[in-house]
Chain A
Amino acid sequence: MAEMWLNMGPQHPFTHGLWNLRVKLDGETIVDADPIVGYLHRGWEKLAENRIYPQIIPMADRLCYGASMSWEHLYCNTIENMMELEVPDRAKYIRTIVLEAQRIGSHLMWLAALGTDLGSYTIFLYSVRERELFLDLMQNLCGARMTYNYCRIGGVRNDVPANFERDFDRVLTHFLNRMNDLESLMDRSSVFRLRMEDTGVISGEQARNLGVTGPNLRGSGVEYDVRKDDPYEVYGDLDFRTCFEKEGDSFARYRVRMDEMRESCNIIRQAIKKMPKGPYRLKPPRNAPKGKTGWAHVEDPRGEGFMYVIGNGDDHPYRLKVRSPIFVTVSAAPVMLIGYKIADVPAIMGSVDMCLGETDR
């Protein structure tokens, strides 16, 4: 049989971000896969050693630009754990609300990319339109659409604007109605289901061992969510369920993210009701003691994000390590691809929600 290695990338309309997926094809069936990353490597962790702690916050934004707030917050949380700071309650609630809004925004961007991959431009247009609403909310809050620079070590940069609750309420009500349209466009489309069901199957056991986390893990039946199992901010006080599906195929991963969007609306509503008054920021110390370590892990929209910092005695970090969830999921991509046809590749890799900024750092 004629076998060949095919380069899908680095310039390919389906690659979300810059990477090269080399697949070995036997006719049309994939027999091996070799992802090549590193096209976006800037040495982020080395650059962080050259900057003072607050200067790293906008850098953390640009780690995964689809979920900027999540990475800023993870970084601030790590430094707060190292310096043993307790953030004020109001800041915790604000952070939770914007984190969930960011989760919805990130999942909508994923959905837009998935639609483009499968050739359905309608899904792209619908999702981008809804995402604009959430970007407007963020713009009211912190002035930027994408790389926010909003979280600070010790809280958040500014308090919520006027009409915060009214705006969020309007957007969430409108969005939940639109979700019905969006879901029916895909769930009831037999072509979509045909392309997504039974492709890219990864079992729960394999996913756990290979380090896959987040919606990709929960799509395979493992009910683990860092927000519920190792709570941070105010997730321990809020009532929501872990969304998971059992089949482990692309359709299951898609369903997990759609359910998560609905749960995020639920979480935002609860948090807005319970938000206390008070300070939103406290002043952290400038320097960290030499050799002091700290780490934090969060439920990023793409999986388990983690950062580990070691202090230097002055205002620069000695070592700042970033664990990116998609870095590990890409290494598990061969398991999801082998045995399927090449035409299934956009559906499978689209359901994984890649963001290469955090992979290559």
Chain B
Amino acid sequence: MGKLAQREGLGPGGKTGEVIAQTLVEKFPQDVKITKATQNRVFATVNKPAWLNVAAFMKDALDFDHVTAVSGVDWLEEKKMWVVYHITSYANRVTAELIVELPRDQLEIDSISNLWGGANWHERETYDMYGIVFLGHPRMERILTPDGTDYFPYRKDFVGGRRV
């Protein structure tokens, strides 16, 4: 762990997953629920209104510097969607999985593209595939499907199959 702290360009390091989980719960007691925390993994669920504050705190105070992935999951019968964020901290060698639940009739969430530029295209893709709108995103447009596509392909009520 000491060797980690000396690497150039990375933060001070030294916080394990358990420490990070505890810090998050202390700072946001109502909004963050920790499912599991090990030395290099944190699994948590976050409430939607507090999401941007939690993300900004993770970036500034906990040295999380890289968004690994932003995924959407469609739970059709339960009438909700998840947005699953995987964010990595190089200095601490921890990857956190954060799940934000959205009701299926109001698919909006704050964008974290202004904090981490790496989330930009991930959020665009999630919009393209699921229809989840990221508020504050600099360019909320389709990216992978052709222009003029009027469906959201990865939703569970969209039946795949040949159509071109």
C-alpha gap A224/B11 in the complex (Å)? 12
Contact of A211 among B7, B9, B116, B145 (CB under 8 A): B116
Q: For residue B121, which residues in chain A have a CB less than 8 angstroms away from its CB?
A: 327-328, 330-331
Chain B nearest CB from A318 CB (Å) reads 8
Q: B115-142: which have CB < 8 Å to A?
A: 116-122, 125, 129
Is A310 close to B, CB under 8 A?
yes
Is B24 close to A, CB under 8 A?
no
C-alpha gap A282/B153 in the complex (Å)? 36
Is A195 close to B, CB under 8 A?
no
The answer to whether B160 touches A50, judged by C-beta atoms less than 8 angstroms apart, is yes
Mark each residue of chain B from 90 to 128: 1 if its CB lies under 8 Å from any CB of chain A, else 0: 100101010000000000000000001111111001000
Q: For residue B93, which residues in chain A have a CB less than 8 angstroms away from its CB?
A: 229-230
Chain A nearest CB from B143 CB (Å) reads 6
Q: For residue B95, which residues in chain A have a CB less than 8 angstroms away from its CB?
A: 230, 297
Q: For residue A321, which residues in chain B have a CB less than 8 angstroms away from its CB?
A: 69, 71, 84
A contact patch SS: mixed
The answer to whether A328 touches B122, judged by C-beta atoms less than 8 angstroms apart, is yes
Segment with Cβ contacts to B, from A1-9, A38-46, A100-108 = A38-46
The answer to whether A222 touches B160, judged by C-beta atoms less than 8 angstroms apart, is no
The answer to whether B71 touches A319, judged by C-beta atoms less than 8 angstroms apart, is yes
C-alpha gap A310/B99 in the complex (Å)? 13
Mark each residue of chain B from 66 to 105: 1 if its CB lies under 8 Å from any CB of chain A, else 0: 1111010110000000001010001001010100000000
Q: Which residue on B lies nearest to A47, using beta carbons?
A: B160
The answer to whether A37 touches B67, judged by C-beta atoms less than 8 angstroms apart, is no
The answer to whether A295 touches B160, judged by C-beta atoms less than 8 angstroms apart, is no
Is A223 close to B, CB under 8 A?
yes
Which bracket fits the contact residues of B?
35 or more
The answer to whether A41 touches B145, judged by C-beta atoms less than 8 angstroms apart, is yes
Q: A230-B40, A308-B69, A323-B68 are in contact. Are A209 and B143 (CB under 8 A)?
A: no
Is A205 close to B, CB under 8 A?
yes
Is A199 close to B, CB under 8 A?
no
Q: A211-B67, A230-B93, A319-B71 are in contact. Are A308 and B86 (CB under 8 A)?
A: yes
C-alpha gap A50/B40 in the complex (Å)? 33
Q: A205-B9, A295-B86, A310-B73 are in contact. Are A41 and B144 (CB under 8 A)?
A: yes
Is A332 close to B, CB under 8 A?
yes
The answer to whether B66 touches A211, judged by C-beta atoms less than 8 angstroms apart, is yes
Q: For residue B71, which residues in chain A have a CB less than 8 angstroms away from its CB?
A: 308, 319, 321
Q: For residue A300, which residues in chain B have a CB less than 8 angstroms away from its CB?
A: none
Is A249 close to B, CB under 8 A?
no
Is B31 close to A, CB under 8 A?
no
Q: Which residue on A lies nearest to B90, using beta carbons?
A: A224
The answer to whether B118 touches A210, judged by C-beta atoms less than 8 angstroms apart, is yes
Q: For residue A38, which residues in chain B have a CB less than 8 angstroms away from its CB?
A: 143-146
Contact of B65 among A41, A45, A208 (CB under 8 A): A208
Contact of A37 among B97, B118, B144 (CB under 8 A): B144
Is A168 close to B, CB under 8 A?
no
Q: For residue A230, which residues in chain B have a CB less than 8 angstroms away from its CB?
A: 40, 93, 95
Chain A nearest CB from B49 CB (Å) reads 24
Is A213 close to B, CB under 8 A?
yes
Is B154 close to A, CB under 8 A?
yes
- The 3 A-B pairs of least Cβ separation, nearest first, read A211-B118, A321-B71, A323-B69
Which A positions have Cβ atoms within 8 angstroms of B?
37-38, 41, 43, 45-47, 50, 204-206, 208-213, 221-224, 229-230, 295, 297, 304, 306, 308, 310, 318-319, 321, 323, 327-328, 330-332, 360-361
A-B contact pairs, 6 of them (CB 8 A): A46-B153, A208-B66, A209-B116, A321-B71, A328-B118, A331-B121
Question: Known contacts A37-B143, A43-B153, A46-B160; can you find 12 more A-B pairs with CB under 8 A?
Answer: A45-B154, A46-B154, A205-B9, A208-B65, A210-B117, A211-B68, A212-B118, A222-B9, A222-B90, A224-B90, A321-B69, A323-B69
